[in-house]
Amino acid sequence: MNLGDIVQKEQIIPDLRASDRWEAIDEVINHLIATGKIKAEHRDPIAAVVKKRETSMSTGIGFGIGIPHASTDLIYEVVGALGRSKRGVNFDSLDNQPVNLVMLFLVPQGQFQKHLHTLANIAKLLHKKEFRQALEQAQDAAAMHRIICEAPASK
């Protein structure tokens, strides 16, 4: 599963307002509710599983990337959203640098292989410096979505 399969233009936040990882997670989850990707009544339990996973170890993997993720039985297909912060978010990253790109995704409970495969594909793509820079410099959500869709599929 590639990033373009998970994130549509409506699921991109080109100007994330959050200043830390907890605010970023809430902001992205609220965006998924606003776009109809998750139900409003599922907000708190989904936020709880994402934050529980994040508490065990930060998903700030370095290079300005945060990939908060979790499995939940409240969804039936992989769901995600991408947020971009121009000023950076304190994510307790492995390299102690602020995060500019927050890619939150959720996988249905019990789909462990899909979860790992999705995480690996997203991380591989976001580790490409040219791809990250293109997303960071894109004008708006539509431009960011084009960049995602034009990215070569991970093998």
Domain regions of the chain by residue span? 3-150
**Cβ proximity of 6 and 79 under 8 Å:** yes
CATH of 3-150, one of 3.40.930.10, 3.20.20.70, 3.40.50.1010, 3.40.220.10: 3.40.930.10
What are the pLDDT digits (tens) for 46-91? 999 999 999 999 999 999 999 999 999 999 999 999 999 999 999 9
pLDDT at 155 over 60: no
Where residue 153 falls among pLDDT bands split at 50, 70, 90? low
Catalytic residue among 31, 69, 115, 145: 69
Question: Rounded to two decimals, what is the model's pTM?
Answer: 0.93
**Cβ proximity of 109 and 39 under 8 Å:** no
List the end-to-end C-alpha distance of the chain, in Å, as a whole number: 10
Q: Name the β-bridge partners of 62.
A: 65
69 is catalytic: yes
Q: How many helices (H) and strands (E) does the chain have?
A: 6, 6
- In the chain, the percentage of residues whose pLDDT exceeds 90 is 85
